[in-house]
Amino acid sequence: MAKPITIARDGVYVPSWGNKGRKKDERITVHYRFLTFEEEEKIYGRARREAGPVPDKDNEAAYEGWYADYLTIAWVLRVKKMITGIDNLVVCVEGNCIEVDSGEQLFSDLPLVALASELMHELKSLTSVDKKK
């Protein structure tokens, strides 16, 4: 029998954004899980619907623009679904303080673009194959 491949179901990521100077127990941490094949398929189907009608491939510029939009929508939906919790992230906007503890909140209308971008890039590159074992 071949050696089994160990996979992870979830993990924790500590972003560099917002953590400078914080004590270890006060750091922003993001909990995530890997999605199933079925969940991924549903996300890509939804992204295709949200991206709108597919332009004719003869119109290369329009098709490439549509495809870029489709991929962006798909990755945002995917990362929002992967995030199962966020610890120690409270932001104050115009005097209103909000605890951000989910992917939905992170990718809402809050001005957290740098953190959202860092998480997009980090979570996009992860694989469930546990390379440590």
Closest CA to 66 of 74, 77, 55: 55
Across the 133 residues of the chain, what is the mean pLDDT of every consecutive 10-residue run?
A: 89 96 96 95 96 90 94 95 97 92 91 93 85 50
For 77-101, give one letter per residue: b (16+ CB within 10 A) or e.
bbbbbbbeebeebebeeeeeeeebb
Q: What is the pLDDT of residue 53?
A: 93
pTM for the model stands at 0.86
Q: What is the pLDDT of residue 133?
A: 43
Closest CA to 64 of 75, 51, 76, 77: 51
Closest CA to 100 of 28, 33, 34: 28
Q: Where are the alpha helices (DSSP H) in the chain?
A: 37-51, 60-82, 103-106, 113-124
Q: What is the pLDDT of residue 131?
A: 54
